[in-house]
DNA sequence: TTTGAAATGTTATAACATAACAATTTCATG
DNA sequence: CATGAAATTGTTATGTTATAACATTTCAAA
């Protein structure tokens, strides 16, 4: 578990390696994402951004920053809920072949886990069978009920 | 490969078994879906519905029909593209544990295939590890390039 | 220090989806 | 058949998500 500033530093390093510019604004949005308990909609983030950083910010500001962060692998977009969250593996050396998001429909929380090798190879088999070529790591979203909510 | 009317009949049977009412309107929307080459947005379907069936139809008409069809397992919603398509397995006895959609970013087409058992059990393993309970068959969407587009 | 590409600001609008309530239809049951 | 509760459909309005388009500014490399 590393602190916020360490994470931001690490994120900056990653951008440099990948030829991306980590500007103040983008860092602010990433910081916002990192401070959240759960995934947020773009407009929720916009509201917080306006409150904390820039009162007159407009949607494109947030969407551009989010697009950038997603491109750089520092954030993820959950397409099944139209939400965004910081990547849970900014500080670790992650060598994923894909990511699995477990979305709890009860509490709205998300668990992000690397796809296990076994699952990856099974999926690859299935893709190969169809002659389908994947360009980016697949992000798989599965809905259900998380462990905490299952207890209650 | 069964014809449109056969498929609609089969769909009707399924609804009855599941306690759903297959109305004229819903059948019309399903027929629209079945006549498509690829997945369509709700508003594309609305435009076609207005053209073919009811000139003054409004968005709720389409969304309600789509919601119903998805509930009954006769159609799917692709959350990564906000599109809808007819289930490719209305006429077969399908005993899926989940479905994998291969979305071609080049031609916009979709390949729908049942999740192979191996992949299912790998994913289940991973879910079990997190204590996560799935309520519905997972629908997994993977983007990439389909076989035809890979050739070109 | 120019200069051009990238980033940001700003206005407007497109695209996706649902709330809320009225009217109608359906269909089990009296 | 009558009829009334539940489901479906009609209709208006609006909420939510996302991007187009163009102006301005920033910033690093030549």
Residue pLDDT, tens place only, B124-139: 999 999 999 999 999 9
- Residue B52's CB is within 10 A of a number of other CB atoms, namely 12
Confidence grade of residue A2 (pLDDT, cut at 50, 70, 90)? confident
Residue to test with chain A: of B130, B132, B139, most A Cβ within 10 A: B132
CATH 3.30.1490.190 domain residues, chain A: 99-151
Say what the pLDDT of residue B47 is. 98
What's the CATH code, domain B4-86?
A: 1.10.10.10
Cβ–Cβ below 8 Å for A111 and B123: no
Q: What is the mean pLDDT of residues B6-16?
A: 96
Neighbours of B21 (CB within 10 A): 10
Q: How confident is the model over A11-27, as a mean pLDDT? A: 96
Contact list, A105 vs chain B (CB under 8 Å): 135
Residue B1 has pLDDT above 70, yes or no: no
> Token match 């998300």: residue?
A110
Asked if strand C contacts B144 at the CB level, meaning under 7 A, the answer is: no
Residue B150 has pLDDT above 70, yes or no: yes
d(CA B129, CA B135): 16
Reported as a single tens digit per residue, the pLDDT across A22-44 is 999 999 999 999 999 999 999 99
Query: Is the domain covering B99-151 a CATH 3.40.50.1820 domain?
Result: no
Question: Does any strand C atom come closer than 7 Å to the Cβ of A80?
Answer: no
The reply to whether B146 sits in an annotated binding site is: yes
- What was the pLDDT predicted at B96? 81
pLDDT given at position A112: 97
In this structure, are residues A139 and A132 in contact, taking their beta carbons and an 8 Å threshold?
no
List where CATH 1.10.10.10 sits in chain B.
Answer: 4-86
Residue range A89-109, pLDDT digits in tens? 999 877 788 999 999 999 999
pLDDT digits (tens, 9 = 90+) for B64-101: 999 999 999 999 999 999 999 999 999 987 778 899 99
What are the residues of chain A with a beta carbon less than 8 Å away from any beta carbon of chain B? 79-80, 100, 102, 104-105, 111, 113, 115-116, 118-119, 122-123, 125-127, 130-136, 138, 140-147, 150
Q: What is the pLDDT of residue B122?
A: 94
Best B115, B121, B133 member to test A by mutation, with max A CBs in 10 Å, is: B133
Per-residue confidence (pLDDT) for residue B54, from 0 to 100: 98
**Stretch A109-134: mean pLDDT, rounded?**
95
Chain B residues inside the 8 Å CB shell of A127? 102, 142, 144
- Which residues in chain B have their CB less than 8 angstroms from residue A116's CB? 122, 125-126
DSSP-assigned states of every residue in chain B: ---HHHHHHHHHHHHHHHT----HHHHHHHHHHHT-SS-B-HHHHHHHHHHHT-TT--HHHHHHHHHHHHHTTSEEEETTTTEEEE-TTSSS----S-EEEEEETTT--EEEEEPPHHHHHHHHHHHHHHT-EE-S--EEEEEEE-HHHHH-
Query: Cα dist. A32→A8, B90, B112 in Å?
Result: 11, 45, 37
Portion of chain B with pLDDT greater than 90, in percent? 93
Asked if strand C comes closer than 7 Å to A24 Cβ, the answer is yes
């Amino acid at each position: 578990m590393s602190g916020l500033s360490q994470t931001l530093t690490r994120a900056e390093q990653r951008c440099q390696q990948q030829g991306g510019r980590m500007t103040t604004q983008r860092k602010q949005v990433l910081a916002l994402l990192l401070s959240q308990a759960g995934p947020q909609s773009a407009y929720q983030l916009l509201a917080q951004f306006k409150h904390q950083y820039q009162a007159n910010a407009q949607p494109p500001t947030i969407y551009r920053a989010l697009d950038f962060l997603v491109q750089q692998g520092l954030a993820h977009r959950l397409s099944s809920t139209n939400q965004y969250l910081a990547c849970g593996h900014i500080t670790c050396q992650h060598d994923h072949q894909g990511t699995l998001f477990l979305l709890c429909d009860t509490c709205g929380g998300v668990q992000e886990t690397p796809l296990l090798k076994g699952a990856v190879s099974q999926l690859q088999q299935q893709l190969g069978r169809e002659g389908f070529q994947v360009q980016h790591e697949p992000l798989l979203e599965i809905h259900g009920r998380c462990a905490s909510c299952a207890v209650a």
